[in-house]
Amino acid sequence: MKRCVIVGGADIENYELICRKLSKDDYFIYCDSGLRHREKLGFEPQLIVGDFDSCKNPNLDIETIVLPCEKDDTDTYFAVKEAVRRGFGEFLLIGVVGGRLDHTLGNLSILLYLFSLGKKAEIADGCSEMQIVGKESVFVDGTYSFFSLLNISGKAEGITVKNAKYPLENAVITCEYQYGISNEPLPGKASEITVQNGKALLIKIR
């Protein structure tokens, strides 16, 4: 099935880098003011979602879900849930970090939500890519200058990091002590990361 790309309204600093990650085969959902990225991304929405409190409803001949302004879900979270309901199993979220910290943190929690459903998901911005790591190995190659491993869910135990400047074996990272920041893949090798109990946020820095 197609990958679902969800476009939020946060700034996109490097359109060229983001566009390299996009494909004409992707299914695009634009959320509210995320529509401002439409022209520079060069991809039309298949679905538009929003309460249109931050931009005017363009009333395009495209499926549009108009949400109430007062609701529990943000426009982005609603779009993700709708895409899950429609059967998508892989997600890329762009324009969802930066700007308002509350929205950024809320959108990072979407990665936890999708991970809990067994979905593949990534957030990308102008310099980094973010995903959740669990028992299945994730690799970071020399494409990335640095990577950080953060506990954002309360439990991250049995952490192993191989082929990195700062290796770990059966380690624990707590929410109170985030020491897994700014690691580096070894030259010519791909770092391998696993979390046996719980999960962690991996941020790969270009």
In order, the DSSP letters of 5-49 are: EEE-SS--S-HHHHHHT--TTSEEEEEGGGGGGHHHHT---SEEE
Q: Tell me, yes or no, whether 88 and 155 share the same domain.
A: no
Q: What pLDDT, on a 0 to 100 scale, did the predictor assign at position 103?
A: 87
- Give me the residues paired with residue 93 across strands: 6, 123
Question: Which pLDDT does position 71 carry in this prediction?
Answer: 84
Nearest to 202 by CA among 101, 111, 119: 111
Q: Per-residue pLDDT tens for 147-200?
A: 999 999 988 999 999 999 999 999 999 999 999 999 999 999 999 999 999 999
Domain finish residue from 92, 126, 160: 126
Q: Are residues 29 and 9 in the same domain?
A: yes
pLDDT digits (tens, 9 = 90+) for 148-161: 999 999 889 999 99
- Per the structure, the complete domain to which residue 39 belongs is given by 4-126
pTM: 0.92
- Per residue in 20-78, pLDDT tens? 999 999 999 999 989 999 999 999 999 999 988 878 888 889 999 998 888 888 999 99
Report how many domains make up the chain: 2
Q: How far is CA 21 from CA 25, 60, 123, in A?
A: 12, 26, 11
Residue where a domain stops, chosen among 77, 97, 126: 126
Statement to judge: residues 29 and 110 lie in one domain: yes
Give the end of a domain, one of 126, 147, 167: 126
Same domain, yes or no: 86 and 13: yes
CATH number, domain containing residue 68: 3.40.50.10240
pLDDT by residue (tens digit) across 118-147? Answer: 999 999 998 899 999 999 999 999 999 999
